[in-house]
Amino acid sequence: MNDKLPKPMLDALASAAKPAEHPSSDLLTAFAEQSLTAPDKELVADHLGRCAECREVVFLANTAPEASEPEDELVAAEFRDAPSRPVAPYAVAAMTSPAVVAKPRWWASRWVWATSAAAVCLVVGGLFVGQRFTAVPRARQVALQSEPALGNRYPEKAEPEKPSQNAAPEAAPAAPKMKTQAAAQQASVPRAGRITPTPGEVIGLSDQAPAPRPSKEQRASAQPATPAADSHTIAINGALARPILTAPKASGFAPSSGQPQIDSLNMSMNRLVTSAARTQHSTWRISSQGQLEHLTADGWTRVLADQTAGFRVVSVVGSEVWAGGNDGMLFHSSDNGLQWDRVALANAGAVETGAIVSIRFSDAQNGEVETNSGGNYSTSNGGVTWTKQ
């Protein structure tokens, strides 16, 4: 800008008499937001031209961040809909305390991105390495198929001497973590727009469901009786659901050379996949008490509350919801949980009594159900008929 303001005019502008009255914060806000009528805008602009203090305020406020949406729209909606209720002073103090409201930092966001990227790399790397090493157990699996059928996909790990007792110490440390994650998920209610379960996704965590403890005779028998801690059932994007073997060393199974490394790789991979699946938002879940719950506007609501047998898995394909649990319990809803039908799994008149540990549907019609007793049922007509494999 080549033209300068004439010196006397600049001096006069600087030494102009400051107005005694100032516009309210409300008017300054409206001026900055261009929401004043023309006469009011002219008045406020004229005042700002004379008052350095108000100019400072307006420019300072204008550099502050723009509007950000509430943290959780669902919570906001809940506030709108909820009746008036008092807030404890400590709650207000806690919400207003600096410890709660942390200033967002650039390095914090970078760490989040870096952590996410590292997690993705680990998952991809784990899948890649896992696929390379699984060639060995698959070969052994083929070799062992001549042995009496144990009904387990991984026969080399299917005969632990004390499966339940040995698996418990390994699974125990993971329990508080899962509980914490569940609590965190409950505390931060996911946005309704984000709740999009992928087809064929098995969401339930069967290890949290209370399973009847097998008797000593049952454990000693040839039946594998897949331990509860061994039956995380995760199927993402149509991948084959398989149990996660969490305690290969403690199970007493003597692995072949190189097997510990394979198992540790599988374990880490499965844990990563498990944690990735848990972080996905879902409207259905199995609680730690083995209850089927559905996320509604009122929060997590128990569904099929009259069922005493614990649920273990729930699978969602669009509006088709499948929930399974102990004693061969299998329920199906085709309207996203409004109405439920009990589905009986039977083969040649024998009703399935094993706990359902895996439900995997590729679409609304085709799916598979797996039990801990080795039963593997498939359907191609949306669950009308089942075929045991």
Partner 1 sequence: MALTSPAGTLGEQPSAALREFVAEHYGACGAAEVGLDRMALAAMLAQIAAQAGPFDDAASELSFLQSLRLEELVLARACALGSEHAWEVFLNRYRNILYESAYKIAPVESEARILADSLYAELYGVDAKGQQRTSKLLYYQGRGSLQGWLRVVVAQEYINRYRGTRRETSLDAAVEGGAQFAIAQAECVAIDPRVEAAVSAELAALDGNERLLLAAYYLDHRTLAEIAKLLGVHESTISRKLVRITSAARKRIRKRLMQSGMTGRQADEVMEDVEVRDLRVKVRETLEQGPPDSTFYQKKGESQG
What CA–CA distance (Å, rounded) separates 282 from 280?
A: 6
User: According to the binding rule CB under 8 A, does residue 21 interact with partner 1?
Assistant: no
Rounded CA separation 242/227 (Å): 13
Question: Per-residue x/- marks for partner 1, 101-130, CB under 8 A?
Answer: x-xx--------------------------
Q: Strand locations in the chain, DSSP E? A: 201-202, 284-286, 292-296, 299-303, 311-317, 320-325, 330-333, 341-342, 346-347, 350-351, 356-361, 367-371, 376-379, 387-388
- Residue 64 beta carbon to partner 1: minimum distance, rounded to whole angstroms: 4
Among 56, 161, 335, 363, binds partner 1 (CB under 8 A): 56
User: Of residues 18, 59, 128, 387, which one binds partner 1 by CB under 8 A?
Assistant: 59
Among 18, 19, 45, 350, interactor with partner 1 by CB under 8 A: 45
The residue among 1 and 240 lying less far from partner 1, judged by its C-beta, is 1
Classify each residue of 134-167 as buried b or exposed e, where b means 16 or more C-beta atoms within 10 Å of its C-beta.
beebeebeeebeeeeebbbbbbbbbebebbbebb
Give whichever of 95 and 346 is closer to partner 1, judged by the CB atom.
95
192 touching partner 1, by CB under 8 A? no
Nearer to partner 1, 190 or 199 (CB): 190
Q: Which of 29, 198, 268, 378 binds partner 1 (CB under 8 A)?
A: 29
* Residue 194, both tokens: 């984000």
Q: Binding-site residue total for partner 1 (CB under 8 A)?
A: 74
Q: Does 16 bind partner 1 (CB under 8 A)?
A: yes
Segment 67-106, which members bind partner 1 (CB under 8 A)?
67-68, 70-72, 75-76, 79-80, 82-87, 92, 95-96, 98, 101, 103-104
Tokens at residue 26, please? 């409300």
Integer CA distances (angstroms), 39 to 31, 50, 181, 309, 351, in order: 11, 17, 57, 73, 83
